[in-house]
Structure 1
Amino acid sequence: MSTNRGFTTTILHSDRLGKPEHGALHKPIHTAVTYGFDDVQDLVDIFQNKKKGYAYSRQGNPTVSALEHKVTQMENGMASICFSTGMAAISATILSLMKHGDHVLASSYLFGNTRSVFQSFIDLGLDITFTDATSIDNITAGVKENTRMIFVETIANPGTQIADLAKIGDLCQEKGIIYVVDNTMTSPYLFKPVNVKASLVINALTKYIGGHGNALGGSVTDTGLYDWSNFPNIFPTFKTQVKPEVLGMTQIRKKGLRDAGGTLSPEAAHVLSVGSETLALRMERACTNALALATFFESHPLIKKVYYPGLKSHPQHGLAGELFTKYGALMSFELDNSIDLFGFLNKLKLVIKSSNLGDTRTLAIPVAHTIFNELGAAKRAEMGIDDSLIRLSVGIEDLDDLLEDFKTALGD
């Protein structure tokens, strides 16, 4: 087969071309926790990073490895590591690469749980500050002498702000700063952070890549663009055991996955892998639905404001068009003050009231009362999160059915 295959073709045939057991089209589910060796030297070599293989499934499993290979292909990266959740991937990246005295500069629009775990790291002594990442000027002003990492999301959840991704990448390259881009809201189909010089790419596999709301998972991908040989926090032993280009992945796998233990199960890895095969098809439909719904909401008199990058009224609409293949399937909107928030949501019969996103089904949630409740009213106000804000993760239903459900709930 050609080496220049398309996105879906590549993912669809990834397992098969790896020649899995018995001619299976998918990598089988390997449930073994431990692995035995006829020659103890082989076991030692795996422990000492001299040979690839599996010694204990907390840090590696054949089924999970097949999924890691797929994610790497999707992101045009060098290597990937999978975790039990997206939050485990984020936590492991910070835990394994940062030290006391280091500074992390992050977007002020980070998702609530990401912001929460960053606060926990702050409480432990790590210097983390937040700034409006939609402007490179803010990022430049926020960089310190001890800044080791800049962490942003492609599209913020739930406000849909878009970071100045390409210019931040140029800045990080110039200053030798690790550039971490959370690609969850766009997925590798709509955007590849390697194109804006990202060092590491985060994906919550639970969302669009898995796509069906039936398995948790997360990943970190090394794009191969960062020079780890000059990074001061690498564990000394690793420097003597592996090539410089894999130092970052080695440290994240050993210190972040093995030590912290956020291991992805082989059963979940299989489900996510199969789900990923239809990523492009699902995103095409969901993004088309999202743009149509956003257009409908923007013209409705009972909707105060709509947050969706595909609308010309969005502050970063032009930037989104330059960066992304489509505008994504996530949006938020504020209801008119005359409408009871909970009453409106309860009138929706097709749209599901749920905390997840990236599902095949359309999901809605009142933001201030749930996923951003812990931040408190003052912080929500600072982030522009209105009490009437509803986050909508648009699915692949027939558009007419979705429109009818919202029209009925709005009293049309």
Structure 2
Amino acid sequence: MAYFPMMTDLSGGETLVIGGGEEGTKKVRVLKDFGARVTLIAPEAREEAIREADRYARRGFETADLDAAEWKLVVAATENRELNRRISEGTRERRIPVNVVDDPELCSFIFPAVIRDGDVICSISSGGKSPYVAQLVKEKVRGCWPEGIGRINDRMGEYREQAKREYADREERRRFLRERLTELLNPGTGTTGFTTALLHGGEAFPQGGTLPPVAQVNAFRYERMEDLERVFEHRQAGYAYSRIGNPTVTAFEQRINALEHGQGAVACASGMAALTAAILAVCRSGDEIIAGRGLYGGTIDLFHDLEQLGIRTVFAEKMTGESIRPLITEKTRLVFGEVISNPAQQVLDIPSVAAAAHEAGIPLFVDSTTATPWLIRPLEKGADAVIHSSSKYINGGGNAIGGIIVDGGKFDWNFEKHTALAEFRKFRRRAFMVRLRTDLWENLGGCMAPMNAFLSYIGCETLGLRMKRICGNAAALARALAGMPGIRVNYLGLEQHPDHALAGSLMNGFGGILNFRAGSRERAYRIINALKYAAIASNIGDVRTLVIHPASTLYIRSGVQEREAAGVYDDTVRVSVGIEDPEDLIADFRRAVGAGG
């Protein structure tokens, strides 16, 4: 028999299963998984089948049962071939699709082997000849099944509606959708994969160089004074002084801006310099910021320092749209959060927070240092600006301090509210970036050094490779630590983590930072000191695994309540996982935990 492959909607449809043994139970379960209402008829049935079915009749089949409802389909799963034949004939007379278990000659449809992720369904059939062949093919297909394809499909559904609204031409719609699908399957820049885009981004350097030259100079020479004047007035492209612009730094800015799909970027001397410049560009004395409690210790310290400038921070217990709405006042000028808080491992619900902030005419700035563009592009989720400490994962080698701000260029600034940008109102949605570039940033003096820009440019070329390895190592180490005595692990990649599902819906992975509680400060120190491969250092995002006791270092200026709100306790150990062989890392931590007592 030549079966035609098709999909049908069983949601709420009435289906009949006759027979409550092993096969009948399987069919009840499958039908319920796809939203059908199931009536089960059998003299005896397994408890699971009875529990799953919507109705159960403890009796034998009667021909009148086929007329009891408008059945979408019928399954005969009895061990009586004559009864199965009678059911098949009765359903065919009534034009009801029927499946007879293990007897394809009596079937008008068959159950395929199924792989499913959300609404993406792959059905594999042997035409009823050999379920074992179908299962074999299923396992082969599962091996190359795209990770997260259900989530990607949901996003493509949204893009399809967008394409209908924005493109009248069918070919333009197809091109748009092909590009979006490629981006989702390969988290990179544009229509190519992430690392391909990094290595072949279209930059052209002098003399055909494959890397930008290092302009390790203070100033740039001009033949005519008129040209230098125009550069200072921003009427002519060029460089005058490396504090306010440098070609090596520009190359790095363009690379990260492309990765984040932004509208402009400014590189700074450090991550903290970038955060400070971003805040001061939009906030003045008397203004307020809303931020989450579980922030990096240096960021919390900065917010306290800003109080001396008259800029107050209101801390939210949880960074969701629902939690921040009551905190918004007439003085609120900015909402700030970390995409993955360090080390608390809390995930910022960017879409809901952005929606709540935008309702009030307030931008959302995010620190995506621990996530990186490989895991998520916050601008595409609703954030208005992204900040990175490029010293961490972007650089990757632990050899260059730096930071960068990327502007989405889409926020509709209210210049009556954001008076810090009032002078730049003519630039409208570009006002924030223009103020940073031409005013605040160059006057603060927090520029990135050319050599640091060069090292970070080189470092980020392997970002995708490193992040894939780091995330895999972190997951393996977290699972191993969770099974060690006296250790409580906090890592987003573990299913029991409260933000695991949110992280999975927003990001391409779960990051490379984890922390664990050892039971006491003394034991934490013993474990740290016993490690062989993990270096004791106050950094993250290195290719090497790094550990630290955050309470006595990064949060030394914070009180107990502030530390605990950030997920830092006296016995907390933070681990920034590197790219070492996972077996060696796990063995090292297992030995150190044992030595810690």
Normalised-by-shorter TM-score class = over 0.9
Q: Write out aligned runs for 1:100-115 (5 A).
A: 100-115=285-300
1:402–1:3: structure 2 CA closer, same or farther, 3 Å change rule?
Answer: closer
- Aligned equivalent of 1:336: 519
User: Take 1:55 and 1:244, find their aligned partners in 2: how far apart are those partners?
Assistant: 27
Deviation at 1:289, TM superposition (A): 0.5
The SS at the match of 1:400 is helix
- Aligned equivalent of 2:218: 33
- Relative CO higher for 1 or 2, CA cutoff 8 Å, sep ≥ 6? 1
Is the 1:97–1:251 contact (alpha carbons within 8 Å) kept by the matching residues of 2? no
- Aligned equivalent of 1:82: 267
- Aligned equivalent of 1:372: 555
Letter of the 2:509 partner, please give it: K
Letter of the 2:306 partner, please give it: F
Alignment partner of 1:117 out of 302, 313, 335: 302
Deviation at 1:141, TM superposition (A): 1.3
User: Take 1:99 and 1:411, find their aligned partners in 2: how far apart are those partners?
Assistant: 52
User: Take 2:210 and 2:216, find their aligned partners in 1: how far apart are those partners?
Assistant: 18
Alignment partner of 1:271 out of 455, 465, 470: 455
Is the 2:288–2:312 contact (alpha carbons within 8 Å) kept by the matching residues of 1? yes
RMSD (Å) for aligned C-alpha atoms: 1.9
Per-residue deviation, residues 64-84 of structure 1 (Å, max 9, x unmatched) = 000000000110111100001
Deviation at 1:3, TM superposition (A): 6.1
Deviation at 1:229, TM superposition (A): 6.7
Is the 1:133–1:164 contact (alpha carbons within 8 Å) kept by the matching residues of 2? no
Q: Write out aligned runs for 1:197-346 (5 A).
A: 197-228=382-413, 230=415, 232-234=418-420, 238-239=424-425, 243-303=427-487, 305-337=488-520, 340-346=523-529
Count residues in correspondence.
Answer: 406
Q: Which runs of 5+ in 1 are unaligned?
A: none
The SS at the match of 2:557 is helix
Deviation at 1:173, TM superposition (A): 2.4
1:353 aligns with 2:539: no
Report which stretch shifted further, 228-237 or 2-11.
228-237
Percent of counterpart pairs with the same letter? Answer: 36
The SS at the match of 1:128 is strand
Is the 1:105–1:147 contact (alpha carbons within 8 Å) kept by the matching residues of 2? yes
Per-residue deviation, residues 122-156 of structure 1 (Å, max 9, x unmatched) = 12211211112333222111111121110000011
1:181–1:3: structure 2 CA closer, same or farther, 3 Å change rule?
Answer: closer
- Aligned equivalent of 1:152: 337
Letter of the 2:377 partner, please give it: K
1:133 aligns with 2:318: yes
The SS at the match of 2:590 is helix
User: Take 1:172 and 1:39, find their aligned partners in 2: how far apart are those partners?
Assistant: 49
- Aligned equivalent of 1:173: 358
Question: Which structure is larger by alpha-carbon Rg, 1 or 2?
Answer: 2
Letter of the 1:66 partner, please give it: A
Alignment partner of 2:584 out of 397, 401, 405: 401
1:383–1:190: structure 2 CA closer, same or farther, 3 Å change rule?
Answer: closer
The SS at the match of 2:589 is helix
Letter of the 1:253 partner, please give it: R
Is the 2:366–2:378 contact (alpha carbons within 8 Å) kept by the matching residues of 1? yes
Deviation at 1:96, TM superposition (A): 2.3
Is the 1:234–1:251 contact (alpha carbons within 8 Å) kept by the matching residues of 2? no
Is the 1:229–1:244 contact (alpha carbons within 8 Å) kept by the matching residues of 2? no
The SS at the match of 1:368 is helix
User: Take 1:406 and 1:319, find their aligned partners in 2: how far apart are those partners?
Assistant: 29
The SS at the match of 1:331 is strand
Alignment partner of 2:372 out of 177, 180, 187: 187
User: Take 1:330 and 1:311, find their aligned partners in 2: how far apart are those partners?
Assistant: 12
Letter of the 1:116 partner, please give it: D
User: Take 1:353 and 1:378, find their aligned partners in 2: how far apart are those partners?
Assistant: 25
- Aligned equivalent of 2:255: 70
1:308–1:3: structure 2 CA closer, same or farther, 3 Å change rule?
Answer: closer
- Aligned equivalent of 2:197: 10
User: Take 2:278 and 2:530, find their aligned partners in 1: how far apart are those partners?
Assistant: 41
The SS at the match of 2:564 is helix
Q: Which runs of 5+ in 2 are unaligned?
A: 1-188
User: Take 2:573 and 2:442, find their aligned partners in 1: how far apart are those partners?
Assistant: 38
Letter of the 1:398 partner, please give it: D
Is the 2:294–2:565 contact (alpha carbons within 8 Å) kept by the matching residues of 1? no
Deviation at 1:353, TM superposition (A): 0.8
